[in-house]
Structure 1
Amino acid sequence: MLINFDKAQISSWKQHLERDAETLKAKTNILKIHKNVVIKDKFEKDILSNVIPPNDIGVHFEDIGALENVKVTLKKLVMVPLQRPELFCKGRLTKPVKGVLLFGPAGTGKTLLAKAIATEAGANFINISISSVASKWFGDGEKYVKAIFSLANQERVSVLGATNRPYDLDEAVIRRFSCRVMVDLPDALNRERILSVILSEEKLAPDVDLKTLANMTDGYSGSYLMDRNLTRAEGRPQPPECGTVDIRPLTMDDFKSALQKASASVSPDSRNMRELHQWNDLYGEEYGSYL
């Protein structure tokens, strides 16, 4: 009996097989990494299923075009204890920070920072948002966070959490993260640095001034600059499907046209930003405390 399969069916099966292969590969890596870890309960088991080995992350500090003060703080808090554990094995005052919470508005690079730390320190990354503490495991948030720190202690690593709404966290959760660092909207200088990374491989006309663009994008987060505006600058012609015509360089007018059709990701005077800054005043750390 001869059965004919169309290309769509074959393509779909291929995608499913590739996805299953990646899942199997990830689970195999996790088993290798955690063969000496003792799983105590269902919470720890769930957490292990979200672990990503450092070689599979692929994010480095150079990929983040700003946040230099936060980078330095995290290197001192997280990377140095991982790379030089002998410096932190004596005395209580020299013990490394076990929990660091990154908080701030959406799109400011909190998850990217955590991934970069994991990559550069060669540490595993647990791909779980703090918001899942209050949703998926509703009512068991404290047990869930306890399980995260239990696994981290077994592997002698720090826990980096990231959230857009720190004021929704339970006090028990907050206490676990003894260091809390706000990752705020980028100022003009940091927006210029972000733009230089985003546009590093673009063809730009001589009239494009990144400093001017940075001053025009107050209230824009790094991800918003990437996703909503400058990478979608309109006005330049697209090349035909077959031919040799190149896309012309982006001009300043292209960016101005794109910016006219969008707005800032969040207003600095919005309720959310006020609540974040109020929470920072109560619980946050100054960068200088660790520099």
Structure 2
Amino acid sequence: METAFAAVCKAYVPRPGQPMSRTREEVTALAQHDRHEQALVTNVILPKDIGVTYDMIGGLGGAKELLRQCITYPLRFPHLYSEGIAKEAVKGVLLFGPPGGRGRTMLAKAVATEGGATFLSVDASVIENKWLGESEKNARAVFTLARRLAPCVIFIDEVDSVLSSREKYDDTTHGTLTSVKTTLMQEWDGLRTGGDRVVVIASTNRPFDLDEAVLRRLPRRILVDLPDAETREEILKVSMAQNRVDASVNFTAITEELEGFTGSDIKEVCREAVVRIAHEKAQELDRAGVNGVREEVDLTAQLRPVTMDDFWEARKKLTASVSEKGRELSRVWEWNEEYGEVKKKRPDASAHHLSMYL
């Protein structure tokens, strides 16, 4: 006799190439048999709720194409990748780059959206537990739940905090952490073919801290670097797409002033330029003694468009969060030259290198 749980699993097996359309209640039902899986449900984002596509990410043309080939296409069209060695899915993809940016997370979410896959986000806080044996159970639950949710993208944020080189730890923590790493990698190895339709994307700004055993499970290593001029301009335009911009605004000129800024930095400049206008209106209403917002008055319509002056004032307040001369960034670039898939181009190269949007 078929159990209720087996019936749920059977009911929600996707057809090849079809996007998953589960509800939150159905995801919860799939995890009911295991409390460790239940604890992960809050980290699950359904395809329809992710809200990030490749088109929403400024720049990163090369990274997007690599991710389409490695993950998106096999997830969407698994029947095309079923012959011989082609059915062995990519074990994992590492997105790495300078600290301070969220472009890697955006890319991972876009991969899930475009592939019609569920997004399961985990980090050290999700896996680690002070009670003996619980961390290993949490690590195992990540993969068992992902299989139930297939097609699924497991996103391990700050993977270096979970799977760093053994040399970093002292004897008091070595045993526990090694056990957790062993469990994670064993479960990871269990994703032997594309039949599981589960892929792992890891993110870090310290790739040089990763254990070699981890790197073997992350054969595709994509640098998400600081944006060049062309990409910075694209990020500006994407960030300002939903705002009113004065015709006099010259994005190219603004781009020149944002050299060395990450995608997150550029977004913050845009936000500061926009809210500057709101601040002006708020001060005006405050001086006039207006308390609260009257429902019949559309105050947003009274706001002026963003001008060049707003961008210049925002630029004066904000600085880059990453130093191009810093040792941390230099180590990332050096590591990329040895292990990365996308080599960093020289500053005088005409083609632009990869960047991040958020």
Q: TM-score range by the shorter chain?
A: 0.7 to 0.9
Match of 1:133 among 162, 184, 197: 162
2: CA distance, partners of 1:45 / 1:164: 30
Q: Report what 2:200 is aligned to.
A: 159
Note the C-alpha offset of 1:174.
Answer: 1.0
Gaps of 5+ in 2: 1-22, 123-156, 165-172, 286-292, 344-358
Q: What amino acid does structure 1 have at the position aligned with 2:81?
A: F
1:224-281 CA distances to partner (integer Å, 9 max, x unpaired)?
Answer: 222x322112653225344566111111011111111111121222111111111111
2: CA distance, partners of 1:265 / 1:85: 41
1: CA distance, partners of 2:320 / 2:69: 33
Q: Report what 2:96 is aligned to.
A: 103
Q: Report what 1:77 is aligned to.
A: 70
Match of 2:183 among 143, 147, 161: 143
User: Structure 2 vs 1, CA of residues 251 and 48 (structure 1 numbering), >3 Å: closer, same or farther?
Assistant: closer
Q: What amino acid does structure 2 have at the position aligned with 1:265?
A: S
Q: Once structures 1 and 2 are overlaid, which stretch shifts more, 50-59 or 194-203?
A: 50-59
The answer as to whether partners of 1:60 and 1:120 remain within 8 angstroms in 2 is yes
The answer as to whether partners of 1:152 and 1:159 remain within 8 angstroms in 2 is no
User: Structure 2 vs 1, CA of residues 54 and 151 (structure 1 numbering), >3 Å: closer, same or farther?
Assistant: farther
Note the C-alpha offset of 1:65.
Answer: 1.6
Q: Report what 2:16 is aligned to.
A: none
Note the C-alpha offset of 1:198.
Answer: 0.7
2: CA distance, partners of 1:155 / 1:30: 20
Match of 2:113 among 107, 119, 141: 119
1:37-92 CA distances to partner (integer Å, 9 max, x unpaired)?
Answer: x98xx7x8876774433223221112212211111110011111112223322233
The answer as to whether partners of 1:207 and 1:251 remain within 8 angstroms in 2 is yes
Q: Secondary structure at the match of 1:275?
A: helix
User: Structure 2 vs 1, CA of residues 196 and 63 (structure 1 numbering), >3 Å: closer, same or farther?
Assistant: same
Q: What amino acid does structure 1 have at the position aligned with 2:120?
A: I
Q: Secondary structure at the match of 1:249?
A: coil
Note the C-alpha offset of 1:149.
Answer: 5.0
Q: Report what 2:20 is aligned to.
A: none
2: CA distance, partners of 1:252 / 1:165: 37
Note the C-alpha offset of 1:217.
Answer: 0.6
Q: What amino acid does structure 1 have at the position aligned with 2:114?
A: E
Determine if the alignment matches structure 1 residue 196 to structure 2 residue 225.
Answer: no
Q: Report what 1:213 is aligned to.
A: 254
The answer as to whether partners of 2:28 and 2:38 remain within 8 angstroms in 1 is no
2: CA distance, partners of 1:144 / 1:134: 9
User: Structure 2 vs 1, CA of residues 108 and 217 (structure 1 numbering), >3 Å: closer, same or farther?
Assistant: farther
2: CA distance, partners of 1:30 / 1:161: 25
Q: Secondary structure at the match of 2:281?
A: coil
1:200-242 CA distances to partner (integer Å, 9 max, x unpaired)?
Answer: 121212221111111111111112222x322112653225344
Count the aligned residue pairs: 257
Note the C-alpha offset of 1:190.
Answer: 0.7
1: CA distance, partners of 2:341 / 2:38: 32
User: Structure 2 vs 1, CA of residues 57 and 30 (structure 1 numbering), >3 Å: closer, same or farther?
Assistant: farther
Q: Report what 1:53 is aligned to.
A: 46
Match of 2:56 among 53, 56, 63: 63
Note the C-alpha offset of 1:157.
Answer: 2.6
Q: Secondary structure at the match of 1:138?
A: helix
1: CA distance, partners of 2:78 / 2:322: 40
The answer as to whether partners of 2:93 and 2:218 remain within 8 angstroms in 1 is yes
The TM-score, its normalising length taken from structure 2, stands at 0.64
1: CA distance, partners of 2:183 / 2:198: 19
The TM-score, its normalising length taken from structure 1, stands at 0.77
2: CA distance, partners of 1:286 / 1:262: 30
1:175-216 CA distances to partner (integer Å, 9 max, x unpaired)?
Answer: 111111111111111111111111012121222111111111
Q: Report what 1:229 is aligned to.
A: 269
2: CA distance, partners of 1:149 / 1:63: 33
